[in-house]
């Protein structure tokens, strides 16, 4: 059950600000969905290993050789704000 | 356009038709019909000119010479806006091209536009797009399915013969069923995900929508194979085109028992049609029991939401995408995301955050991954007895626009037959196999063909057999768009 305090915590973790009306709506939705998800509790998964991805994979390594990459101009072309060849972002460290 | 991709490619590839012609015709059809369908978010108006510039000789002998294709707007193509149906990326212009798109272009295909989708591919109806819903060409009052609804409507509406979508939990197969076209999701890893905007990385696969099995095979043949830019891509693809003629004699086919009840009568008739056609071709039928499949929907949504909450953390208003919220970095993040994301994306990000958060991880995310293992085991056991498994793509034909958009659970349950296959990473095709008559309209229904991992080509053999025997009568363009 997600109460108001829990939703505040989730909004902080997810860096997502909701309006008061949205909070009420989404909290109701999330609790209804969680109720539905509780069906999983019925299944016995004792000793069953997790399956994180459907195919067994091994890590793939390659030689660390430079290849084609974006130019500075291409990378900055998407920036919300830029200054002197850098991404301009709000102050992070006080 | 009524021609198949391969019919067009044959003429352009032999120099009998200019390489710009099919793209020009396709764009004309889109302009004439897209105010009704809203399948496209953006058009590549200069597509014919680009093809002309390359010159006739550049297309000679290419497998998809001059074929107009549409791609879902979560696939990058350099220079085009890749919005993912989100305000967050409304102005995001791709600086690079997805591997699958690059391979299609290298085979002669010409991208004519980017198609509508549920925001970040999260949805089953294409109503969740920030830029308005797509409509089903068979009944404009109904949804095309989602999330690749724009691609499915474009193929069913005769705008293009071939389109790419993406399928995380059914997003190619469901719209294919609702729109009456073929929709194929390969084995996880068959197609490179490089350049596909990530939603849930352990589930996402690129998929193909078409109106003929041979077109599907041709597109897969040029796109499959290892990609150094996607470490989950798999090498040594089969020849899908060669597999079309494998035949089906002696094939052991199992209906998934958990999907036999509660289906619309038209879906039941389609099931009977498929069985009849395949049996006449020498296949043998039985039933397969996959008890854990009943838990597929909750397991899928927990895993997909968890992965999404992590993948979508990149949209922070800093390097690209929407920025809002003034001068405090924390407020910029929170407000950019509040303004940039729609309701369903917010719901899923919060649900995923909850499932991964301290104290709940074991009960939700970890539990769902264990159930995922059980589902994969159920499939593996069933494939001990059967070569191919079958079940409907959806229990019903397309539903009316607005019917489920305020009820997330009703929307999630639409995916009941597709998500388990995604959890197991298996290849599956939605085969158009019949029609329902609803409110005076003809609505297509689809049946899924499911193969073991890496046996994708088997599905094409069956699809081709069905298409040949039924003379393609379930594979057509929607009435009113021919």
| pLDDT (tens digit per residue) in B385-406 | 999 999 999 999 999 999 999 9
The complex's ipTM works out to: 0.96
| B459 Cβ neighbours under 8 A, 6+ residues apart | B184, B388, B427, B428, B429, B449, B450, B451
Chain A residue closest to B363 (CA)? A41
Is A36–B409 a contact, with Cβ atoms under 8 angstroms apart? yes
pLDDT on residue B259: 98
Is the pTM higher than 0.90? The answer reads yes
Q: Report CA torsion sign: B197, B200, B206, B211.
A: negative
pLDDT over 80 at A57, yes or no: no
B100 SS3 class: helix
**CB-closest option in B334, B373, B423 to A48:** B373
- Map B149-209 to HEC letters: HHHHHHHHCCCCCEEEEEECCCCCHHHHHHHCCEEEECCCCCCCCCCECCCCCCCCEEEEE
| Cβ proximity of B57 and B101 under 8 Å | no
Is A26–B346 a contact, with Cβ atoms under 8 angstroms apart? yes
| pLDDT (tens digit per residue) in A7-47 | 999 999 999 989 999 999 999 999 999 999 999 999 999 99
Fold of B5-244+427-469: Amidase signature (AS) enzymes (3.90.1300)
Helices (H), B312-366: 329-340, 343-356
Does B213 qualify as catalytic in the annotation?
no
Q: What does DSSP say about strands B205-210 and B182-185: parallel, antiparallel, or unpaired?
A: antiparallel
Chain B residue closest to A67 (CA)? B229
pLDDT, mean of each 10-residue run, chain B (482 residues): 95 97 98 98 98 97 98 98 98 96 98 98 98 98 98 98 98 98 98 98 98 98 96 94 97 98 98 98 98 97 98 95 90 96 98 96 97 98 98 98 96 97 98 97 98 98 98 94 92
pLDDT over 90 at A94, yes or no: no
Domain boundaries, chain B: 5-244+427-469
A91 — pLDDT class (breaks 50, 70, 90): confident
Does B114 qualify as catalytic in the annotation?
no
Is B376–A51 a contact, with Cβ atoms under 8 angstroms apart? yes
Structure tokens at B177: 């069923």
Give the whole-angstrom CA distance, residue B391 versus residue A74: 47
Structure tokens at B146: 């989602």
Is B302–A37 a contact, with Cβ atoms under 8 angstroms apart? yes
| Cβ proximity of B212 and B478 under 8 Å | no
A64 SS3 class: coil
**CB count in 10 Å sphere of residue B43:** 17
CA atoms within 13 A of residue B38's CA, in its CB half-sphere: 17
Helices (H), B205-323: 213-223, 240-243, 265-280, 296-311
Kindly state the helix (H) or strand (E) to which residue A82 belongs, with its residue range: strand A82-83
Is B350–A7 a contact, with Cβ atoms under 8 angstroms apart? yes
CA-CA distances (angstroms) from residue B347 to B48, B301, B308? 41, 11, 11
Q: Rounded to the nearest 5°, which phi and psi values hold at B31? A: -60, -35
Q: Report CA torsion sign: B219, B220, B221, B224.
A: positive
**CB-closest option in B228, B302, B346 to A16:** B346
Kindly state the helix (H) or strand (E) to which residue B456 belongs, with its residue range: helix B456-469
Domain boundaries, chain A: 4-41
Q: Rounded to the nearest 5°, which phi and psi values hold at B268? A: -65, -40
Give the whole-angstrom CA distance, residue A8 versus residue A24: 12
**CB count in 10 Å sphere of residue B247:** 14
Q: Which residues pair with B210 in a beta bridge?
A: B162, B182
Which of B72, B124, B129, B148 is the catalytic position?
B72
Helices (H), B391-455: 408-413, 419-424
CATH number for the region A4-41 comes to 1.10.20
Chain A residue closest to B303 (CA)? A52
Q: What residues of chain B lie within 8 A of the CB of A69, using their CB?
A: none
Structure tokens at B381: 């056991």
Which of B26, B166, B171, B306 is the catalytic position?
B171
Q: What residues of chain A lie within 8 A of the CB of B372, using their CB?
A: 50-51
A12 SS3 class: helix
């Amino acid at each position: 059950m997600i109460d108001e305090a829990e939703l505040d915590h989730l909004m902080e973790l997810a860096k997502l600000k909701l309006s008061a009306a949205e909070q009420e709506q989404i909290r109701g939705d999330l609790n209804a969905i969680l109720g539905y998800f509780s069906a999983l509790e019925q299944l016995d998964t004792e000793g069953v290993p997790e399956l994180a991805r459907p195919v067994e994979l091994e890590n793939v390594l390659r030689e660390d050789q430079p290849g084609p990459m974006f130019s500075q101009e291409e990378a900055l072309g998407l920036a919300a704000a830029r200054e002197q060849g850098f991404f301009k972002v709000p102050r992070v460290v006080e | 356009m009524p021609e198949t991709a391969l019919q067009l490619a044959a003429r352009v590839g032999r120099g009998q038709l200019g390489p710009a012609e099919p793209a020009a015709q396709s764009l004309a059809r889109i302009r004439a019909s897209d105010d009704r369908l809203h399948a496209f978010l953006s058009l590549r108006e200069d597509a014919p000119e680009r093809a002309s510039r390359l010159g006739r000789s550049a297309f000679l002998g290419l497998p998809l010479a001059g074929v107009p294709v549409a791609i879902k707007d979560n696939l990058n193509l350099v220079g085009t806006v890749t919005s993912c149906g989100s305000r967050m990326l409304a102005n995001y212009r791709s600086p690079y091209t997805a591997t699958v798109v690059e391979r299609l272009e290298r085979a002669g295909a010409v991208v004519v536009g980017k198609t509508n989708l549920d925001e970040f591919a999260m949805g089953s109806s294409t109503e969740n797009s920030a830029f308005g819903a797509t409509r089903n060409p068979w009944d404009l009052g109904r949804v095309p399915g989602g999330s690749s609804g724009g691609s499915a409507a474009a193929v069913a509406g005769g705008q293009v013969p071939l389109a790419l979508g993406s399928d995380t939990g059914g997003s190619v197969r469901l719209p294919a069923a609702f729109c009456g076209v073929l929709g194929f999701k390969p084995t996880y890893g068959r197609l490179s995900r490089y350049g596909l905007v990530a939603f849930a990385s352990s589930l996402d696969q690129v998929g193909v929508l078409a109106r003929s099995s041979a077109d599907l095979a041709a597109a897969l043949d040029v796109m499959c194979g290892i990609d150094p830019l996607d470490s989950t891509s798999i090498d040594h693809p089969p020849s899908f085109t060669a597999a079309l003629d494998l035949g089906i004699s002696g094939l052991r086919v199992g209906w998934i028992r958990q999907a036999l009840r509660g289906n619309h009568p038209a879906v039941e008739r389609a099931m009977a049609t498929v069985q009849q056609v395949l049996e006449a071709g020498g296949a043998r039928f039985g039933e397969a029991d996959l008890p854990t499949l009943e838990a597929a929907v909750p397991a899928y949504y927990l895993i997909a939401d968890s992965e999404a909450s992590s993948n979508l953390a990149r949209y922070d208003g800093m390097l690209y995408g929407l920025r809002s919220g003034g001068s405090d970095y924390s407020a910029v993040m929170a407000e950019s995301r509040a303004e940039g994301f729609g309701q369903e994306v917010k719901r899923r990000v919060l649900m995923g955050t909850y499932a991964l958060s301290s104290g709940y991880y074991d009960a939700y995310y970890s539990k769902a991954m264990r159930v995922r293992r059980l589902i994969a085991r159920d499939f593996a056991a069933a494939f001990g007895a059967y070569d191919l498994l079958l079940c409907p793509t959806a229990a019903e034909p397309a539903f009316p626009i607005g019917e489920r958009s305020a009820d997330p659970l009703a929307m999630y349950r639409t995916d009941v037959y597709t998500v388990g296959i995604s959890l197991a990473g298996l290849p599956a095709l939605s085969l158009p196999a019949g029609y329902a008559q609803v409110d005076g309209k003809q609505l297509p229904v689809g049946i899924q063909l499911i193969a073991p991992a890496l046996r994708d080509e088997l599905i094409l053999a069956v699809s081709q057999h069905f298409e040949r025997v039924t003379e393609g009568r379930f594979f057509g363009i929607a009435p009113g768009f021919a």
